[in-house]
Amino acid sequence: MVFNMQFVYKITRIVAKYFNRAYIRSRTSEAMSELNKHLETIKGPLLTAGIASAIGAITFKADQYFGSKSAHSEHGPELDLAITERLGATKTLVLLGGLCMNGEELASQYQKELADDVNLITPVYDSNGFDGPSLFEQLYDQLDNTPTDDIVIAGLSMGGLIAWDMIDYGIKNGRQDTTEKISHVILRGVPVCPKSIRPGPRLLLNTVQRLGYSYALDHSRPLLRRWNCVSLLKATPAAIVEQCRYLAGPHTNNLESLPDQVTFVRGVLPDPVVDESIAIGTLQRQLGRPVHEVIDSEYLLPVHAPTDRQSVRFMLEQLGIAKSHTQQIPAISLQVAA
């Protein structure tokens, strides 16, 4: 009886193995057939993507090579400045644009809305590189040549970082006579710390630092300025790389040297690049005092550091240097505790 039970057990195992293998072969055959169907469907797009990737890689290497050569062979020490001097001016506005912003275009936009008794100085960033100390020195030289008793600074995006680095540099390098005249700094879209940059833009910034290449917002095209948060257009690689490296820091932590009046402007909708709540909170902790936060209630687009006429006028109104008009843009003022 024991022998018979063992025999039956063995036969059962053999039969089970046979049917199990047959089932596996059947299922494998069905799976392979389905896989082949899917491969036939996506073979065309995969081939297209492969060719596009190869072309992109070749273009990337060529662009990186020539951009690097341009940065090292054509970089000049002189900085172009867009300057508007007014007879009898009592104030000077230093306008500092953001990453790859067109300085001349930006100055033109602000000049149209600027009061008649205010000078305007705007640096036009070098298209072949970016040198912070050189920029600061040349700005201070120009401010000495355009003397007024009151200086205000407007910083858009990266321009805000330039603003306080410039002030700290001036204090440490014998420019106190000029820095003491700075009475008000106004900021919009400024990434005060790396954590204040949203994940997508932060990934792009890190990629640029590592690879030395990028696509950047082109703020000089009027038709696309409205949608500059999604319009990724080619710009000079040498300029982007150096500006991104500056943007990534390090920057001065000595923000106590900023004037008493520091204003942070934000739109109604969230900035797509900078988390303004984190930026303002960090700024207040570093300053050790509250920041005057205002909301541009008329601006209803999710755009980073906008430069349209309405946004420009709002910035100038907060500084008290807008051209006189009968109606001002309403602002929502928020005083946040430190």
- How many angstroms separate the CA atoms of 32 and 322, rounded? 71
Task: Give one DSSP letter per residue of 158-183, joined into a string.
Answer: HHHHHHHHHHHHHHHTT-HHHHTTEE
Per-residue model confidence (pLDDT) at position 130 = 78
How large is the C-alpha radius of gyration of the chain?
29
Per-residue model confidence (pLDDT) at position 53 = 73
- How many angstroms separate the CA atoms of 104 and 107, rounded? 5
Q: What is the mean pLDDT of each run of 10 residues along the chain (338 residues)?
A: 57 61 62 70 73 69 47 48 87 91 89 93 80 89 89 94 92 92 95 90 75 42 41 49 76 78 93 94 89 91 90 94 66 43
Per-residue model confidence (pLDDT) at position 333 = 46
Per-residue model confidence (pLDDT) at position 11 = 66
Q: Are strands 292-296 and 331-335 parallel, antiparallel or unpaired?
A: antiparallel
Handedness of CA 186, 188, 191, 192 (dihedral sign): positive
b/e map 322-336, b = 16+ CB within 10 Å: beeeeeebeeeeeee
Q: Are the C-beta atoms of residues 281 and 290 closer than 8 Å to each other?
A: no
Q: What is the identity of the amino acid at 30?
A: E
Q: What pTM was computed for the model?
A: 0.68
Per-residue model confidence (pLDDT) at position 162 = 93
C-alpha distances (whole Å) from 323 to each of 12, 77, 252, 315, 316 are: 96, 35, 34, 12, 8
Per-residue model confidence (pLDDT) at position 177 = 92
Q: Which residues pair with 10 in a beta bridge?
A: none
Task: Give one DSSP letter per residue of 266-306, joined into a string.
Answer: EESSPPSSB-HHHHHHHHHHHHTS--EEEEETT--S--SS-
Q: Are strands 91-96 and 118-124 parallel, antiparallel or unpaired?
A: parallel
